[in-house]
Amino acid sequence: MADLSSKFAGISSPNPYWLASAPPTNTGDQVMRAFDAGWGGAVWKTIGDPIVNVSSRYSSVDIGGVRMMGLNNIELITDRTPEINFREITEVKKRYPKHAVIASLMVESKRETWHEIVKRAEGSGADGLELNFGCPHGMSERGMGAAVGQVPEYTCKITEWVKEAARTPVIVKLTPNIGDITYAARAAKKGGADAVSLINTINSITGIDLDNFSPRPMVAGRSSHGGYCGPAVKPIALNMVASVAKDSEVQIPISGIGGISTWRDAAEFFLLGASTVQVCTAVMHYGYRIIEDLVDGLSNYLDEKGFASVNDLVGRSLGNVTKWEELDLNYKIIASVDQQKCIGCGLCYVACNDGAHQSIGAKPRADGRTDVWILEDQCVGCNLCSLVCPVSGCITMKKVETGRPTVTWKDFSKDPDKFAYLKDPHH
């Protein structure tokens, strides 16, 4: 059986699944119940000066009958005092010494203030510190959170202050609300960070009430932009994790965050360079017990692939992530319809005809269904028909042997005449 134990920046945990700093880690009771359920670690809900929060706090985007595909929040850091939080961290570590407990911290940008909170957090027994440089609302207006994470110089300076006092590993949590997240990651590394975690939440307004014209979630008829998370943000998070993992100037451990709901999601983060993952929205939706499926699924997958540990997954896909101009322009696929599985809905024809490349033929039937077929000489292999088809495995993409060598945009741009045939979209 594969070994799921984790060693992240020197911090040990029974498995690489940690709870992210959020409502599920707001109290010691919650964290202990999570550990009993099987979670390997927890990043405490961000500790700082006592905060007064608003009501209401959350809104969501639902898609196709699926609730909370995206979750928006305007909640700030913990509204419980540092004294209470640090006392509970001490109790949790006493009862669960083998689990990872990370103190998430956010205070005003003063050297002595950071030194003080670091010493108190480490004095409580926390295994490590996560610096919240990502909160996009409320705190950033006060010169904290994303206001720090969006300016590499601030990220570097405050990390340096923390490292002056810290004796445990320091993780810098990065904001996605920035043009290029690698600059912030490099700044964290320059400041002495032992690891980074990403992504924090994305600036968002999830919707407007069309009757009272208030954004959601409504607070006395008004609202604010909030932080967006959940399954909808996973593609953005994967891209940013890969960008940081591939950057030669960073090269420190990564804890992946953003839309992780299943073991497959977690495996994708590992393959793109993360060595632990943090989960929030899925727990807010379904509870701590999802850890059972996360652990079993990953363990079975590793066994099937013949991998001894999660470390065997970390970064294996990075070599397959490249720049567009390095892709093979002579690689060709076309769509293929399994007529035995086709239900004649005609959706692929409509999508291709109106939204893509007019590469599907169609003929109405007497029973109201539609016969469809691929116009192979017109198909550009865009995948749209296979994506909209409601029947699994009905439309697949098959490779066409062109007999031509690999040619990239770099090759073409050097000698356009030599590769003139590439200008034909159906080459």
Domains of the chain: 6-320 (3.20.20.70), 324-423 (3.30.70.20)
Q: What's the rounded mean pLDDT across residues 227-243?
A: 96
Q: What's the rounded mean pLDDT across residues 195-217?
A: 94
Q: What's the rounded mean pLDDT across residues 148-162?
A: 93
Task: Find all residues with CB under 8 Å of 350, minimum gap 6, and list them.
Answer: none
| % residues pLDDT > 90 (the chain) | 85
Higher pLDDT, 144 or 404: 404
What integer pLDDT is reported at residue 164 of this predicted model? 98
* Spatial separation of the C-alpha atoms in residues 250 and 232, rounded to whole Å: 27
Catalytic residue among 135, 348, 385, 394: 135
Read off the pLDDT band of 144 (50, 70, 90). Answer: low
Task: Find all residues with CB under 8 Å of 43, minimum gap 6, and list them.
Answer: 18, 19, 20, 21, 25, 102, 104, 130, 197, 278
* Residue carrying structure tokens 């959350």: 58
Whether 423 shows a pLDDT value over 90: the answer reads: no
8 Å CB contact between 158 and 109: yes
Range of lowest pLDDT (59-73, 286-300, 317-331): 59-73
Whether 424 shows a pLDDT value over 90: the answer reads: no
| % residues pLDDT > 70 (the chain) | 97
Give the tokens for residue 183: 């600059």
What integer pLDDT is reported at residue 223 of this predicted model? 85
Q: Taking all residues of the chain, what is their mean pLDDT, rounded to a whole number?
A: 94
- Alpha carbon distances (Å) from 340 to 31, 49, 79, 347: 51, 64, 59, 16
Whether 296 shows a pLDDT value over 70: the answer reads: yes
* Spatial separation of the C-alpha atoms in residues 249 and 398, rounded to whole Å: 39
Reference 75, options 283, 257, 178, 228; nearest CA is 228
* Spatial separation of the C-alpha atoms in residues 421 and 427, rounded to whole Å: 6
Helix (H) / strand (E) containing 237: helix 234-246
Per residue in 58-92, pLDDT (tens digit) is 999 999 888 999 999 988 889 999 999 999 999 99
Q: Catalytic site residue 135?
A: yes
Whether 137 shows a pLDDT value over 80: the answer reads: no
